[in-house]
Chains A and B, each alone.
Chain A
């Protein structure tokens, strides 16, 4: 099967190569005239051949045509179209274009910046883009514009509950999302547990979420790619923007340098509740630290027509503690080099460093040298990733490249002292290398059928230093397996302990039924060699990432998706709509024995269980892009389940984040030149929970017990919430550059106490019974609804730009 697939693949590629001859190429960059930012996904349309291309993530395009005269039309929703006559006679043509934002009529807005008909014409499916402009107008929790919380309004995206870190895509767990910030992975995308995400809205240019039909160039996470691109920095003029909200104060500064050949942006945010609270803290809380900040920067420099370099960095940290404290944060740096080899061969090479670490300290202020506990843990990645695009012909775009990643896991070294005795203990560092190669092609067959097919091969090796363990095999499933100590082996630095290889085929097809409707289908297989070890409802910042080992097999997902896409409305593209169905099969999903010990545990693998997953669903999406009223409605009908030997008697059970129905409505209304009104509504089926059936007592404590040993057998009540906001733009003064706005918002407007969970506990009231003359207290039980937000939350934010 695999071999046949490879043969077919090469046949298709070679076939395409042979046909690309005696042709000339038009290539160049498409940029925004106002700030010089490269335009992503801009349309380049050649009238005479009724076909075209889209600009890539750097604004580059390339089209190869037979000799002749052509009319090139450059367009993007929200920008003025530009037509150019191009004569292809003797040599290739370089054509850089700058598009200008449309001056919109009163009460009209555009909430998207992409090709008008991209929904129907692009081969991409299961992909959603979200504009910063849209996010900035959506009512936000405490007024803080947030990428992760915003994408949760898209079809197929859900969360286990508000305040939980991360997001779940099409039934995948949170560690299955590759969150990329300018191509460097971010391991924990949350500040303050999960309430805010690490992306500074002032620095983000574009957000794209790929849930299915994932092209061959991406790998390493099995459920989704969240591709966050930072602004390049204004290349035309100095600009300062910022804001003051209830949580963060923000400031961003961008300006050109080297006469516009380069530009940069630096943006910073810091929470300041601690500053305000400082005078009121007394006793032990005096000197408490609780704050979080992030710093985002990016610079680009165009060396010449063929070479552009980018440097991006992110640094963020959360710090909490009085006496006992902890802090955590990500740091990423990525360096990218865009190189145009010739008019048809484009390369981007990314070199990145990504680090996530945390520290736990029982004696933050170093007051007790005789008694302390300090624990540090981190995961570090270094990677190099060359990606090539070869614009073979208007009918074929070939992509190929690879990636090498070096992982170093430092799961934890702890030092502890008790009454003056000190000791250091913990786990040894672990290394792993992941290498991958891919090749893919996007091919037009006739004017209606487009295919994208590719193959990725990933090779992973789990390496020393350290020991490898084997565990008992005669233990009934679901019980702790102890190591067989005689089989423990020691490995030297970078000696392979276990190697895995996976062939990952990718395939997408699009067929245009009419100019306004298309049918799309895709299949992808992806392997993932990282696992987030987390057994709590919401993941904590202290959860440890583990590599695949000799005992933990790589996660593998196979997904098929089928979709119908249609645009309609007065101008035929006013509304875009889609219906997609998907089925996803997941292998080697980690679960945990009861009472699993996840922290600093040498024999952690003995506490893990492996199972299968499946997820399926249908997603309905209608979006209105133009007019005074814009927004979307998305509805997802979904199911996501696990089957694990040792849990729920090996029967399939829904995951903790399974939601049958999920409805989201996002509306934005341009009420006047200065007022913009916005509302979000979300409804979700209650998440699954495990309720006890019976009870018994142990030493006077009431113990819940489920006779079927069931997992997630009932559901908590439904979740629904309405948020509203109003944005008041400041009066525009002629000849003044300054713009400002006030955002007033209310989160959870109708004050619903949405359950995050229903849990059970013994109540404070006890009954006293007499046994053989002795008085014995027996506890009673109660059910408790836990709501993360018990009230509506109003907020006001001030934003400025000059």
Chain B
């Protein structure tokens, strides 16, 4: 249904059949290019502080984590004109907004602009918060992985939820086992309506079976594990971003896709600001807010395309819902 699923299955079948292919970790020298600003930020409608990480890219095989982009001015502006300042006094790269007086940042239906000013360059990203459905329940069945026929049986979880009515809702599922996020490259799960692809008509469906069962760790669950699933409503750009990301971080084997840079929604708009007279107010956010940001996108992409210092990464906004259950025999259903 989604290409990854297809190709992973193809590659899997092939491996099972031939049993002779092999993967070896090898030493390779890679050239390192100039550092770029990298944004990794999600704001939500949750209470509490919000965090946006701004770093600089570093060498791919460099053992060190990407260094922080210290001293940047990081702001989020919503379409009501409220400005939220994100600060990083300890220069960790994690810019944080801390609420005062039970203030909440994200609200469903609002649009958000991220601006980052760093070393004379200005970056802009856009996102919005859409509605999120409820997660109804999680059930389990005793099972074992097809690929591990000799492993002991575990509990396979299945998440029950229904897509919101109307075509084009996008969701991102994050699963926590005993409080720990399942964060392997193949754990990225984003949905288009109730399925994996914009081309399958699943509007208003119960999440499709492979999506329902995407919340399992490789080893499946044990009795008494705590399983928490968080669903985030995400804009369409984020859906495509995660699809690309998923391809690029799981890209080996016979049916690999061409390695490509993952697209970004963070654009260098320094040129635009200079055109508008420069300064911190050069970027006329209130004017931007009046138009549909998606109409403005080709122009932003073009301006960004001319820039010598492009950013990478993604800024998104989401509303969230969660469900938490403990694996108990009571929740186990007979195997289908």
A binds B: yes
Contact (Cβ within 8 A) B59 A695: yes
Q: Which residues on B sit within 8 Å (CB–CB) of A474?
A: 298
| Binary per-residue interface labels of chain B (176-218) against chain A in the complex, 1 for a CB within 8 Å, 0 otherwise | 0000010101001000001101111110111111100000000
B14 surroundings in chain A (CB, below 8 A): 163, 192-193
**Nearest Cβ in chain A — how far from B123, in angstroms?**
14
Assuming the A-B contacts A421-B206, A698-B313, A783-B25, are A693 and B10 also in contact, with contact meaning beta carbons closer than 8 angstroms in the complex? no
B211 and chain A: residue at smallest CB distance: A418
Contact B36 A694 (CB under 8 A): yes
**Are A418 and B194 in contact, CB atoms less than 8 angstroms apart?**
yes
Question: For window 1-41 of chain B, which residues contact chain A by CB distance below 8 Å?
Answer: 1-3, 6-7, 9-10, 13-14, 17-18, 20-28, 30-36, 38, 40
B33–A771 CB distance below 8 A: no
**A702-741 to B contact mask, C-beta < 8 Å, 1/0:** 1111111101000000000000000000000000000000
Minimum CB distance partner of A767 in chain B: B65
The answer to whether B183 touches A699 (Cβ under 8 A) is yes
Contact partners of A602 in chain B: CB under 8 A: 199
What is the chain A residue whose CB lies nearest that of B306? A476
Minimal beta-carbon separation of B54 from chain A (angstroms)? 10
Q: Which residue of A lies closest to B148 (CB)?
A: A283
A293 CB to nearest B CB, Å: 15
B22 touching A787, Cβ below 8 Å? yes
| Of A297-305, A674-682, A753-761, the one with at least 4 CB within 8 A of chain B | A753-761
Check A701/B185 contact, CB under 8 A, given A600-B199, A696-B38.
yes
On whether the beta carbons of B20 and A692 are closer than 8 Å, the reply is no
Q: Is B260 an interface residue (CB 8 A)?
A: yes
Query: How far is it, in angstroms, between the C-alpha of A759 and the C-alpha of B60 when the chains are bound?
Result: 12
A799 at the interface (CB under 8 A from B): no
| Interface pair A320/B13, CB less than 8 Å apart | yes
The total of chain A residues at the interface (CB under 8 A) is 103
> In the complex the two chains form, is A418's CB within 8 Å of B258's CB?
no
Do B251 and A759 touch (CB < 8 A)?
Answer: yes
B249 at the interface (CB under 8 A from A): yes
Q: Judge whether B33 and A418 touch: CB under 8 Å.
A: no
Contact B58 A694 (CB under 8 A): yes
Q: Are the C-beta atoms of A780 and B63 separated by less than 8 Å?
A: yes
Provide the residues of chain B in CB contact with A416, threshold 8 Å: 1, 195, 200-202, 208
| Interface residue B288 (Cβ < 8 Å from any Cβ of A) | no
Q: A784 to B3, Cβ gap below 8 A?
A: no
Check A690 against B200 for contact (C-beta < 8 Å): no
CB-based contact A290/B253 at 8 Å: no
Tell me if A337 counts as interface (CB < 8 A to partner B): no
Q: Let me know if A693 and B197 touch, CB within 8 A.
A: no
CB atoms of A322 and B146 under 8 A apart? yes
Distance A698 CA – B41 CA, assembled complex (angstroms): 8
Is A96 an interface position by the 8 A CB rule? no
Partner of B197, one of A285, A597, A753: A597
B34 near A707 with CB under 8 A, answer yes
Contacts A193-B14, A601-B199, A696-B40: A373 and B254 contacting too (C-beta < 8 A)? no
Q: Is the CB of B254 within 8 A of A705?
A: no
Residue of A nearest to B55 (CB): A696
A320, A696, A708, most chain B CB atoms within 10 A: A696
Shortest beta-carbon distance, B281 to chain A, in Å?
27
CB of A594 closer than 8 Å to a CB of B: yes
Contact check, A595 vs B197: say whether CB atoms are below 8 A apart. no
Taken residue by residue from 306 to 325, chain B's Cβ proximity to chain A (1 for < 8 Å, 0 otherwise) reads as: 00000011100000000000
A373 vs B255: C-alpha distance when bound (angstroms)? 22
Give the residues in chain A near B333, CB-CB below 8 Å.
none
- Whether A704 pairs with B194 at a CB distance below 8 angstroms is no
User: Is residue A48 contacting chain B, with contact meaning CB distance below 8 A?
Assistant: no
A781 touches B200 (CB 8 A): no
Q: Does B261 contact A (CB under 8 A)?
A: yes
Q: Are B249 and A761 in contact (CB under 8 A)?
A: yes
* B224 interface hit (Cβ, 8 Å): no
The answer on a CB contact under 8 Å between B7 and A772 is: no
Known: A282-B149, A694-B60. A762 touches B185 (CB 8 A): yes
Q: Is the CB of A705 within 8 A of B256?
A: no
In whole angstroms, what is the CA distance A566 to B154 when docked? 70
A705 to B301, CA, bound (A): 18
A195 touches B18 (CB 8 A): yes
Nearest-neighbour CB distance to chain B for A522, whole angstroms, equals 33
A694 touches B57 (CB 8 A): yes
B68, chain A: closest CB distance, angstroms: 9
Is A697's CB within 8 Å of the partner chain B? yes
Number of residue pairs spanning A and B whose beta carbons lie under 8 angstroms apart:
293
B302 within 8 A of A: yes
Q: How far is the CB of A741 from chain B (nearest CB, A)?
A: 26
Give the CA-CA distance A780 to B201 in the complex, in Å.
Answer: 38
- Closest chain-A Cβ to B223's Cβ sits at a distance in Å of 20
Contact at A758–B32, with CB atoms within 8 Å? no
Does B244 make an interface contact (CB < 8 A)? yes
Which of A362, A595, A780 is B209 in contact with, Cβ under 8 Å?
Answer: A362
A310 to B194 CA separation, bound complex (whole angstroms): 53
Chain B 36-66 near chain A by CB (<8 Å), digits 1 or 0? 1010101000000000010101111111011
Does chain B have a CB within 8 A of A599? yes
Is the CB of B84 closer than 8 A to any CB of chain A? Answer: no
- Please, which residues of chain A bring their CB within 8 A of the CB of B55? 696-697
Q: Cβ of B9: which chain A residues have Cβ within 8 Å of it?
A: 324, 326
A373 touching B60 in the complex, CB below 8 Å, given contacts A698-B40, A703-B248, A788-B254: no
CB contacts (< 8 Å) of A793 on chain B: these are: 20
- Whether B261 lies near A753 (C-beta < 8 A) is no
Q: Which B residues are CB-close (under 8 A) to A414?
A: 200
> Which single residue of chain B is at the shortest CB-CB distance from A273?
B17
Which residues of B241-263 have CB atoms within 8 Å of chain A's CB atoms? 243-245, 247-263
- Residues A693 and B30 in contact, CB atoms below 8 Å apart: yes
Q: Report yes or no: B146 in contact with A285, Cβ–Cβ below 8 A.
A: yes
Give chain A interface residues in 262-280, CB to chain B under 8 Å: 273
Question: Measured between alpha carbons, how far is A777 from B184 in the docked complex, in Å?
Answer: 12
**Residues of A close to B94: CB separation below 8 A:** 771-772
User: Complex: how many Å from CA A599 to CA B200?
Assistant: 10
A782 at the interface (CB under 8 A from B): yes
Residues of B within 8 A of A697 (CB): 38, 40, 53, 55, 65-66
Q: Which of A595, A690, A761 contacts B244 (CB 8 A)?
A: A595
How many Å lie between the Cα of A704 and that of B65 in the bound state?
Answer: 13
Q: Please, which residues of chain A bring their CB within 8 A of the CB of B262?
A: 594-595, 698, 703, 705
Closest Cβ neighbor of B9 among chain A residues: A324
Q: Is the C-beta of A368 less than 8 angstroms from some C-beta in chain B?
A: yes
- Say if the beta carbon of B336 comes within 8 Å of chain A: yes
Are A790 and B40 CB-contacts (below 8 A) given A360-B6, A476-B298, A769-B65?
Answer: no
Instruction: Select A704's contact among B17, B23, B66, B248, beta carbons within 8 Å.
Output: B248
Residues of B with C-beta under 8 A to A702: 249
- Is B240 part of the binding interface, using a Cβ–Cβ cutoff of 8 Å? yes
B240–A782 contact, CB under 8 A?
Answer: no
Q: Are B261 and A782 in contact (CB under 8 A)?
A: no
A15 within 8 A of B: no
- The 8 A CB mask of A442-472 against B (1 = contact, 0 = none) is 0000000000000000000000000000001
CB distance from A720 to the nearest CB of B (A): 17
Do A706 and B209 touch across chains, with their CB atoms under 8 A apart? no
Query: Would you give 14 A-B contacts (Cβ < 8 Å), ordered by A?
Result: A273-B17, A282-B149, A326-B9, A362-B209, A536-B257, A690-B260, A694-B57, A699-B42, A703-B248, A707-B33, A756-B254, A772-B90, A781-B61, A783-B28
Instruction: State the B residues within 8 Å of A (CB).
Output: 1-3, 6-7, 9-10, 13-14, 17-18, 20-28, 30-36, 38, 40, 42, 53, 55, 57-63, 65-66, 90, 92, 94, 96, 144, 146, 149, 181, 183, 185, 188, 194-195, 197-202, 204-210, 240, 243-245, 247-263, 298, 301-302, 305, 312-314, 336
The 8 closest A-B pairs by CB, nearest first: A707-B33, A790-B22, A595-B244, A696-B38, A419-B206, A594-B260, A425-B201, A694-B57
For the complex with contacts A373-B200, A418-B207, A787-B23, 15 further pairs of A-B residues with Cβ separation under 8 Å are A284-B146, A320-B17, A326-B9, A367-B336, A475-B298, A536-B7, A540-B255, A541-B10, A595-B262, A597-B243, A691-B28, A694-B35, A698-B245, A703-B262, A778-B65
